[in-house]
Amino acid sequence: MSQVQTPMVPLVHELIRQYPGTISFGQGVVHYGPPAQVTDAIEAFQVDPNNHKYQDVAGISELVQLIESKLKEENRIAIGPGRSVVVTAGGNMAFMNAMFVLTDPGDEVIILSPYYFNHEMAISMVGCRPVVVATDKNYQIDVAAIENAVGPRTRAVVTISPNNPTGAVYGETSLRAVNELCLQRGIYHIHDEAYEYFTYDAATHFSPGSIAGSDEHTISLYSLSKAYGFASWRIGYMVIPQKMLLGVKKAQDTVLICPPVVSQYAAAAAMRVGSSYCKDRLAGYGQVRSLVLEELKAVQHFCTVPRADGAFYFLLRLDTTMDAMALVERLISEYAVAVMPGTTFGMHEGCYLRISYGALEKDTVAEGMERLVKGLDALIND
């Protein structure tokens, strides 16, 4: 564990606490909470004393059925004899389950840089080696680079779209190519779709699990944290090949026995409301996204903003020799605005900062961006 990187989010939050009034573009959460129907579901949950006992390790049947219907209608993923759904305590646990089942110590898992730091950490925790493959200048997939990185101990390729930390949305053609590569090489394609509804302009979301013949080598990860304002409730789910089910159940039973049952009842209520709960808010997110882009024009002479058509992130590339973490610390202490350093996402060459605008209302974003632009201009041009 001493070799595993320390998550940067708690460190940045500790800095923020030292400077009250700081506006944070740090952690990736939404600014809204769950649907009102969740309250009624919790009240009903409390009536039955059996609900306070352990339940099925893979999830309560009502929630699993709702997930299967959603997957069929929205993702075009049919759950048949070759596939299973497992409810998890968030998307991170789903990924950890996959690592437990797919890998032996010393195996390799390919992740794309910039990467989601918890994925990199999980791979290291199970004694495997994360093989980091760079994306292009717009943070899009380089399929040839992935193919060149596949070796005899490669077990899986991980993709995230819409992407954290870049906001990039991977095209269907690229995801199909990665999925086919995994099929041909006899490895797994793990695809994280936590931000599936957060796309803007003409960008569209694609699920590789919908590809014909993908059921034996494709693992799809989902989360309610973003779409339904469910971050603290810790509910996600994974779609896995049937052959993995026993191993995933062993892992999940050992770590937490079953996902929190009260959260599962709440999740079922949220999913009955449906994805419109999130989609109805996308227009507002689109306006905030446009506001952020407009404000960043003031520093475009030293700040590159690669295209970001999804999630609620921008990963800025700054023309400076300053250390990213040192820049973050000064932005907090001198300008009361917080962002995340690119180093936590594997960007060690150059200076990168991630902006997360999902947790804030529009007026707060406007104030925060004013501080950020002022701070960047002063600190980098000083």
Give me the DSSP letters along 338-361: E-EEGGGGT--SSEEEEEE-TTS-
CATH number of 8-32+281-380: 3.90.1150.10
What distance in Å separates the CA atoms of residue 251 and residue 263, rounded to the nearest whole number? 20
Residue 89, CA distances (Å) to 98, 212, 232 in order: 13, 29, 10
For the segment 261-287, the average pLDDT, to the nearest whole number, is: 95
* Inter-residue contact 239 to 71 (CB < 8 Å): yes
Bridge partners of residue 239, in order along the sequence: 85, 220
Residues spanned by CATH 3.40.640.10 within the chain? Answer: 37-274
For the segment 119-142, the average pLDDT, to the nearest whole number, is: 96
Residue with tokens 């227009």: 283
Per-residue pLDDT tens for 286-311? Answer: 999 999 999 999 999 999 999 999 99
Check whether 6 has a pLDDT greater than 90: no
Per-residue pLDDT tens for 149-158? Answer: 999 999 999 9
Q: Could you give the 3-state DSSP secondary structure of residue 36?
A: coil
* Residue 196, H or E segment: none
Q: How confident is the model at residue 10 (pLDDT cuts 50, 70, 90)?
A: confident
* Inter-residue contact 30 to 359 (CB < 8 Å): yes
pTM for the predicted model, two decimal places: 0.95
Domain 37-274: give its CATH architecture. 3-Layer(aba) Sandwich (3.40)
Check whether 11 has a pLDDT greater than 90: no
pLDDT at 338: 96
What distance in Å separates the CA atoms of residue 375 and residue 328, rounded to the nearest whole number? 10
Check whether 19 has a pLDDT greater than 90: yes
Q: How confident is the model at residue 9 (pLDDT cuts 50, 70, 90)?
A: confident
The DSSP 8-state label assigned to residue 299 in this structure reads G
What is the β-pairing status of strands 154-160 and 188-192?
Answer: parallel
Per-residue pLDDT tens for 214-260? Answer: 999 999 999 999 999 999 999 999 999 999 999 999 999 999 999 99
Q: How confident is the model at residue 3 (pLDDT cuts 50, 70, 90)?
A: confident
**For the chain, what is the mean pLDDT?**
95
* Inter-residue contact 264 to 230 (CB < 8 Å): no
